[in-house]
Amino acid sequence: MQDLRGRKALVSGGASGIGKAIAAKLLEHGVKTAVADLNLPDTLPQEPLYIKSDVVSAPATDTLFTELNRKLGLPDILVCSAGRGVHEKLTEGDPEKWKQVIETNLLGTLRLIRAFVPAMLEKGKGDVVIISSVAAGKAYTYGGIYAATKTALEVVAETLRLEVLPFVRVTVVAPGVTDTAFFENTISGSQTVESIGYGALSPEAVADAVLYALQQPEGVSANHITIRPTAQPF
């Protein structure tokens, strides 16, 4: 397995939930880690490096690039974890809310790729990890917009893999129901882990899947990892 010590990482959406667990796991393994998030903790620990940033904003992404390069250096690991949910019928929902989800989940990831992957190509090495969902490719009532963004992300990830091989590895991690504040922060809708009823992963379990991909030997790629509660049927 590859030793990650001394590498540099950026985790979007890393102040809470799955992103926070990934950032913590990277730090444990000696990775110099930065977190980009719209909402930062009131008290910032010494590590990871926290940078307030909104992936929805192109100027904010430019500022993130400049600030990260100055404070840490450009990352050779990019984890795109920032995301939002919405739970609405297509015939009744609010397109302005849908736009927020598309801007965050899809365009936010694309902005980060465009900003940070060229430097990996110049180095001839790097890893991009995209947090998707088992909802990708799975139509379900009230989930059309969210599932569409995750489906699009997986197409983006595969396209990126083809465009950057053999220098940059691209991994999609697609979790099932995970016990985070995701459902509380859904733009609209009223799902909970309990109401879904399949049990839930811990965010640390998802972080372990990310670590597994990153630790693969040079020249080996784990391109897609699905992880879900055993009782979850899809």
Count other C-beta atoms under 10 Å from residue 75's C-beta: 26
Q: Side by side, which strands form the sheet with 77-80?
A: 49-52, 32-37, 8-12, 77-80, 126-131, 168-175, 224-227
Q: Helix (H, G, I), strand (E, B), or coil: what is residue 164?
A: helix
CA 199 from centre of chain: 22
Q: Domain residue spans in the chain?
A: 8-227
Question: Token digits for 162?
Answer: 């083809």
Radius of gyration of the chain (CA): 17
Domain 8-227 listed as CATH 3.40.50.720: yes
Tell me the pLDDT of the chain averaged across its residues.
95
- Summarised one tens digit per residue, pLDDT across range 169-198 is 999 999 999 999 898 888 887 788 898 889
- Summarised one tens digit per residue, pLDDT across range 63-100 is 999 999 999 999 999 999 999 999 999 999 999 999 99
- Summarised one tens digit per residue, pLDDT across range 103-149 is 999 999 999 999 999 999 999 999 999 999 999 999 999 999 999 99
Predicted confidence at residue 43, as pLDDT, reads: 82
Bridge partners (DSSP) of residue 80 are: 12, 130
What predicted TM-score, i.e. pTM, was given to this entire model? Answer: 0.95
Strand runs (DSSP E) across the chain, as ranges? 8-12, 32-37, 49-52, 77-80, 126-131, 168-175, 224-227
Q: Of 1, 13, 7, 2, which is closest to residue 33 (Cα–Cα)?
A: 7
Predicted confidence at residue 40, as pLDDT, reads: 92
Q: Across residues 204-219, what is the average pLDDT?
A: 97
